[in-house]
């Protein structure tokens, strides 16, 4: 689920925190990084669990309607189709997913009032009304109704607040998590082990992320010595903290990850700077990295594997 870009951002944030707090050491930083990685997956589980529980609330709604002293015509003909079809049940009855939800303590983070609120809100939507009126339903119809349910949740300020209250990194991880949940819903009915592809891989989080964090932290002076001569009229101490962290990370990546195309590395860090640094940072970082890339390539310190990796 986590791409290298997501991992780069998390490494950057940990390095920034370590630089701001002298009481923090590398071990604490590494633990913080691992916690962020785990919480990204937790967020995926929580958002998916909300979709499952909100859909499942249709069964509770049916019981409530049946128990009314004077049921309406709507109550009499209500069908809990959101909860009882094979598509959503491939999630709600999935033992592996249920075990993950338990081991990651996701159930205790679920707000039952929010489930009821989102369910009632969704019942008012045109998508749901059209879904109920359909003469027959295709697999695509089921996928679309749960995507619509997810959209209703994400448009709710209350839903957003609950997620952020549980996980402060929700703002950073929202697009990642939403993309993963959408992908899951588009695969309905899911395979029994569908969740395995969303578990963070060691290749991205350990082999790449932890190595990058360790390299930048422990080889800070070496990286600074490479960067400083290319700052031209800039004093290294005057460079914005985030900008310097991103430049160091890019150089560490260029020097140590031969399989990643050099231009990809440069572009990734320029893109990250657009979100996390100043307006002028992208041009500054792009200029510095371009000079450093050419210099290190000429000095044969960057040796990329495969044809075209330096320029592609």
Residue ranges covered by each domain of the chain: 4-198, 219-298
The confidence score (pLDDT) of residue 305 equals 58
Residue 211, pLDDT above cutoff 50: yes
The confidence score (pLDDT) of residue 309 equals 43
**pTM of the model as a whole:** 0.90
Q: What percent of the chain has pLDDT over 70?
A: 95
Distances from the Cα of 37 to the Cα of 125, 137, 262, angstroms? 35, 38, 25
Residue 310, pLDDT above cutoff 70: no
Compute φ and ψ for 193, nearest 5 degrees. -115, 30
Classified as helix, coil or strand, 78 is coil
The confidence score (pLDDT) of residue 239 equals 81
Residue 275, pLDDT above cutoff 90: yes
Burial of residue 162, with CB atoms counted within 10 A of its CB: 0-12 exposed, 13-18 middle, 19 or more buried: buried
Distances from the Cα of 98 to the Cα of 71, 92, 94, 127, angstroms? 35, 8, 6, 28
- Dump pLDDT digits (tens) for 223-240: 999 999 988 766 666 788
Residue 311, pLDDT above cutoff 60: no
Residue 177, pLDDT above cutoff 50: yes
Residue keyed to tokens 């499952």: 52
Comparing 181-195, 205-219, 272-286, which segment has the lowest mean pLDDT? Answer: 272-286
Q: Say if CB 230 and CB 291 are below 8 A apart.
A: yes
Using pLDDT thresholds of 50, 70 and 90, give the confidence band for residue 307: very low
Q: What percent of the chain has pLDDT over 90?
A: 82
Comparing 70-84, 120-134, 249-263, which segment has the lowest mean pLDDT? Answer: 70-84
When pLDDT is averaged across residues 161-171 and rounded to a whole number, the result is: 96
**Best CATH choice for the domain 219-298 from the list 1.10.10.10, 1.10.645.10, 1.10.940.10, 3.40.50.1000:** 1.10.940.10
- Dump pLDDT digits (tens) for 86-135: 999 999 999 999 999 999 999 999 999 999 999 999 999 999 999 988 88
The angle formed by the CA atoms of residues 160, 63 and 148, to the nearest 5 degrees, is 35
Residue keyed to tokens 């930048």: 216
When pLDDT is averaged across residues 132-155 and rounded to a whole number, the result is: 95
């Amino acid at each position: 689920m986590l791409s290298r870009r997501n991992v780069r951002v998390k490494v950057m944030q940990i390095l920034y925190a370590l630089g701001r707090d002298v009481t923090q050491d590398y071990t604490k930083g590494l633990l913080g990084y691992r916690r962020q990685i785990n919480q990204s997956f937790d967020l995926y589980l929580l958002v998916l669990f909300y979709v499952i529980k909100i859909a499942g609330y249709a069964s509770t709604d049916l019981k409530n309607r049946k128990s009314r002293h004077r049921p309406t015509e709507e109550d009499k003909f209500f069908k809990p189709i959101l909860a009882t079809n094979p598509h959503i049940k491939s999630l709600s009855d999935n033992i592996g997913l249920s075990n993950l939800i338990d081991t990651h303590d996701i159930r205790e983070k679920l707000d039952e009032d929010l489930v009821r609120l989102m369910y009632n809100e969704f019942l008012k939507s045109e998508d749901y009304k059209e879904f109920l009126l359909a003469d027959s339903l295709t697999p695509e119809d089921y996928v679309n109704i749960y995507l619509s349910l997810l959209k209703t949740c994400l448009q709710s300020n209350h839903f957003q607040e609950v997620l952020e209250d549980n996980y402060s990194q929700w703002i950073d991880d929202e697009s990642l998590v939403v993309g993963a949940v959408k992908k899951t819903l588009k695969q309905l009915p899911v395979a029994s082990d569908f969740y395995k592809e969303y578990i963070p891989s060691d290749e991205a989080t350990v082999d790449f992320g932890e190595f990058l964090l360790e390299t930048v932290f422990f080889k800070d002076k070496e990286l600074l010595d490479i960067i400083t001569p290319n700052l031209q009229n800039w004093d290294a101490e005057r460079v914005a903290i985030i900008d310097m962290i991103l430049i160091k990370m890019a150089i560490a990546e260029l020097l140590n990850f031969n399989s990643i195309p050099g231009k990809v590395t440069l572009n990734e860090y320029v893109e990250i700077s657009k979100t996390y640094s100043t307006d002028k940072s992208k041009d500054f970082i792009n200029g510095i990295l371009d000079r450093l890339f050419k210099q290190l390539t000429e000095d044969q310190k960057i040796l990329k594997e495969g044809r075209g990796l330096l320029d592609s």
